[in-house]
Structures are given as C-alpha cells and as structure tokens.
Amino acid sequence: MVATRLDEIDRKILAELQADGRMTNVELAKRVGISAPPCLRRVRTLEESGLIRGYHAEVNARELGFEVQVFASVGLESQAETELSAFEERCRDWPLVRECHMLNGEVDFILKCVAPDLSSFQRFLTGDLLTTPNVASVKTSLVIRGAKDEPGVPFDVLEERMNRMA
C-alpha cells in the first residue's frame, strides 16, 4: 500500500494541496510544520512519483453556460479487452464526456457528461454515443442538482487507518 510508504508530513502535504493547490510553498511548509526547501523537495518527489498528477481550477460549469449534466450508463455487446479499450479511447475524444468509469455488474461504463443545453447533449447521444460500434444500450439520468462533489480522497480516513496500523 502506497500510503504506508508516505510519512505523516507527506500525507499532510497531499491533504493541504488537495484542499488548496494554489497556496505558496512557504504557506504549505508552514501548515505542515517544516521549512520551505525540504517542503518543495517533498512536493517535487510526490509529483514525480505520480501521487500528485496535476493542479486544476475548479470552474463553475453552470456559470459558464453548461446547464446540463447527465450520467449515461453504457452496456456493450462485447466485453473483450480490445472492445473495452476501444470504447475508453473513444470516450477520451468526446469533449462532453468528462469522466468515464468501467464498472462491474449490469452496466459496463458510466459516463459523466456536461453540455450547454439538452439539444447539445441529444446531438452527442444520438450522433456519437448510440452510433458507436459495440454499444448495445445507453440509459441516461439527467442531474437535477448535486448534493456533494468532493475531489480527491478523504485524508482524515487515511490518517485514522494509519493510526490504527501503528
């Protein structure tokens, strides 16, 4: 488990950057209780190891005119690895698809899609998704409102687990 190879300072750095990726290295170092140079070295190591994959601004989709959010459950005719990979690659090319997850169970994939309006989503659905080779079924659910949207992982749960293991 990767978390066991991280010390408490590394986990604090990850938690702080997850909460606010824009803070300065000096502020980050202060929050985790070390000086700035070793803090920067640790951040670079976490980036190079792939534990920090990037830094992003959280934008307000509705304020930018993306009024529609839809979850699409996709069933494929074949679950051969080549077919699964081909579908995933196709999803990467569709701008309206913001997330694509392969699932275990009745549905093969769940897609999170955003669109400026319903007609834009419908054009994507009928012109792209439903006409994709190997797609057997698509069921869509229009999001009415979101109650929670937390990025990343719950570091407090990780810390509790680490404390129990110590």
Q: Can you give 59-91 as a three-state secondary structure string?
A: CCCCCCCCCEEEEEEEEECCCCHHHHHHHHHHH
Q: Is the pLDDT of residue 4 over 60?
A: no
Six-digit token pair at 137? 């079924």
Alpha-carbon gap, residue 162 to 1, rounded angstroms? 11
54-69: average pLDDT: 94
Centre a 10 Å sphere on the Cβ of residue 124 and count the other Cβ atoms it contains: 19
In the prediction, which pLDDT does 165 show?
Answer: 80
Contact 29, 39 (CB under 8 A): yes
Angle between helices 25-32 and 36-48 (to 10 degrees): 100
Q: Which of 71, 100, 97, 96 is nearest to 85 (CA)?
A: 100
Contact 76, 108 (CB under 8 A): yes
Six-digit token pair at 110? 């769940």
pLDDT in tens, 75-130: 999 999 999 999 999 999 999 999 999 999 999 999 999 999 999 999 999 999 99
Q: What are the domain boundaries of the chain?
A: 2-57, 68-142
Architecture of the domain spanning 2-57: Orthogonal Bundle (1.10)
Alpha-carbon gap, residue 72 to 137, rounded angstroms? 10
Phi, then psi, of 76 in degrees rounded to 5: -105, 155
Q: Is the pLDDT of residue 7 over 70?
A: yes
Q: State the fold for domain 68-142.
A: Alpha-Beta Plaits (3.30.70)
